[in-house]
């Protein structure tokens, strides 16, 4: 493990088409150049090492991070702001979609740039990180609204902040009496686990408020030894971990792959939280599955996994209207008694 860490430390993230080409991940194509001019590229050494170069088209790690010509195909119903962040942003860096919680986006860079990301046109080098004055204004907005019970740090990836800056931000939120919960959404523990140092763990722990950390993981292969060790450092420090996954064609859209992922997360002390139906992001049609297919997968998981390993299948309603559960139903329409379908497809009557 030590040798692997030293090897990864010597490597740099792949941040250009030329860097990807040197690693045998892409071939020169002017159409890819056009994509790279507008959408950021970054693949960490940990993720690059997982890619099977022999079958790039079907490799679930490559599909998530390596630019594809399919990204140039934009359907009429795809949107630049698919979940309506802009319409719900009263102050720069704040998205206030639900009465009791807000998103706070202090930074717009990530350790990797997922090709399906719903903010793919907003994040990357040169993206709009908050200035000191803008962050002060965002915090003032939170202080002024006593109905805000939870603040969710997202971006970009908030764990890309230096521990000193992160500690200052956590302390500022912790000092707001009505903020009871601080939640961090991050890819860092999965794709760049060496960043999860003792200093970072100390930085994210508030003195008063409850802290939850949501990690984004889409395939069990992402949970290598270094990543598991990083998750253990977080869990051992007392930070509760929850998992978010996006249902992606060619990555995890079969029941065996999802089952393996959910088991691997729970074994790493990460509670599966959401399975997201893919958003209507421009140029991501090659990732989308039907809701019917997603529901069938959730039905299959119900018969294979304990409740601890079951995520909630959700759709983020386009236009900024929030998430709704879209999992399968188990109740029939018998007018005299309920007909309930069990996890294995059996039908049972139950008095209404």
Instruction: Check pLDDT > 80 for residue 284.
Output: yes
The reply to whether 316 belongs to the active site is yes
Residue 331: what pLDDT? 80
Residue 117: inside a domain, yes or no?
yes
Question: What is d(CA 338, CA 336) in angstroms, rounded to the nearest whole number?
Answer: 7
Residue 58: inside a domain, yes or no?
no
Instruction: Check pLDDT > 90 for residue 334.
Output: no
DSSP 57: G
**Active-site residue identified among 114, 141, 221, 282:** 114
User: What is the average pLDDT score of the chain?
Assistant: 93
The reply to whether 323 belongs to the active site is yes
**Active-site residue identified among 88, 105, 119, 120:** 119
The reply to whether 117 belongs to the active site is yes
Residue 51: what pLDDT? 97
**Active-site residue identified among 81, 85, 88, 110:** 110
Strands 210-216 and 181-186: parallel
What is the tens place of the pLDDT at every residue in 74-131? 999 998 999 989 999 999 999 999 999 999 999 999 999 999 999 998 898 876 679 9
Question: What is d(CA 221, CA 158) in angstroms, rounded to the nearest whole number?
Answer: 24
Question: What is d(CA 220, CA 259) in angstroms, rounded to the nearest whole number?
Answer: 9
What is the tens place of the pLDDT at every residue in 34-72? 999 999 999 999 999 999 999 999 999 999 999 999 999
Q: How many domains does the chain have?
A: 1
pLDDT tier at 6, thresholds 50, 70, 90: very low
Strands 241-246 and 210-216: parallel
**Active-site residue identified among 63, 105, 279, 282:** 279
CATH number (domain holding residue 268) = 3.20.20.70
Residue 209: what pLDDT? 98
* Closest alpha carbon to 270 in 303, 313, 314, 222: 222
Residue 127: what pLDDT? 64
What is the tens place of the pLDDT at every residue in 223-267? 999 999 999 999 999 999 999 999 999 999 999 999 999 999 999
pLDDT tier at 4, thresholds 50, 70, 90: very low
- For residue 246, the cross-strand partners are 276
Mean pLDDT, residues 283-302: 97
Mean pLDDT, residues 315-322: 90
The reply to whether 279 belongs to the active site is yes
The alpha-helical segments, DSSP class H, found in 196-336 are: 198-204, 225-236, 255-267, 291-302
Residue 2: what pLDDT? 41
Residue 144: inside a domain, yes or no?
yes
Instruction: Check pLDDT > 80 for residue 352.
Output: no
Instruction: Check pLDDT > 70 for residue 149.
Output: yes
What is the tens place of the pLDDT at every residue in 169-185? 999 999 999 999 999 99
Residue 241: inside a domain, yes or no?
yes
**Which domain covers residue 262, as residue numbers?**
77-322
pLDDT tier at 1, thresholds 50, 70, 90: very low
The reply to whether 101 belongs to the active site is yes
Residue 68: inside a domain, yes or no?
no
**Active-site residue identified among 117, 157, 288, 313:** 117
Residue 352: inside a domain, yes or no?
no
Residues 6+ apart with CB under 8 A from 269: 231, 232, 235, 241
Residue 104: inside a domain, yes or no?
yes
**Active-site residue identified among 97, 105, 183, 282:** 97
Residue 231: what pLDDT? 98
Question: What is d(CA 111, CA 278) in angstroms, rounded to the nearest whole number?
Answer: 21
**Active-site residue identified among 4, 92, 101, 195:** 101
Residue 166: inside a domain, yes or no?
yes
The reply to whether 77 belongs to the active site is no
């Amino acid at each position: 493990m030590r040798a692997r860490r030293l090897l990864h430390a010597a490597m740099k993230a792949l941040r250009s088409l030329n860097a990807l080409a040197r690693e045998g991940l892409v071939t020169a194509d002017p159409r890819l150049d056009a994509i790279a001019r507008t959408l950021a590229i970054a693949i960490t050494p940990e993720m690059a090492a997982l890619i099977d170069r022999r079958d790039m088209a079907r490799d679930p790690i490559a599909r998530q991070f390596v630019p594809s010509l399919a990204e140039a195909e934009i359907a009429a119903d795809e949107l630049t702001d698919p979940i309506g962040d802009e319409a719900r942003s009263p102050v720069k860096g704040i998205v206030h979609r639900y009465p009791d919680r807000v998103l706070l986006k202090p930074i717009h860079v990530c350790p990797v740039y997922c090709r399906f990301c719903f903010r793919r046109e907003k994040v990357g080098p040169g993206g709009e990180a908050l200035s000191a004055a803008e962050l002060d204004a965002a915090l003032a907005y939170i202080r002024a609204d006593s109905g805000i019970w939870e603040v969710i740090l997202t971006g970009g990836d908030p764990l890309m902040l230096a521990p000193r800056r992160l500690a200052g931000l956590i302390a500022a939120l912790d000092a707001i009496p009505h903020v009871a919960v601080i939640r961090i959404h991050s890819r860092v523990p999965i794709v760049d686990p060496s960043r999860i140092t003792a200093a970072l763990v100390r930085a994210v722990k508030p003195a008063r408020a409850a802290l939850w950390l949501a990690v984004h993981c889409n395939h069990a292969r992402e949970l290598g030894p270094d990543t598991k060790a990083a998750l253990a450092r977080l869990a051992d420090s007392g930070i509760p971990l929850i998992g978010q996954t996006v249902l992606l064609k060619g990555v995890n859209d079969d029941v065996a792959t999802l089952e393996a992922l959910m088991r691997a997360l729970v074994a790493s002390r990460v509670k599966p939280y959401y399975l997201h139906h893919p958003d209507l992001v421009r140029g991501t049609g090659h990732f989308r599955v039907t809701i019917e297919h997603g529901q069938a997968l959730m039905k299959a998981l119900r018969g294979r996994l304990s409740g601890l390993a079951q995520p909630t299948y959700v759709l983020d309603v386009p236009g900024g209207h929030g998430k709704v559960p879209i999992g399968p139903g188990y109740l029939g329409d018998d007018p005299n008694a309920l007909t309930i379908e069990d996890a294995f497809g059996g039908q049972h009557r139950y008095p209404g």
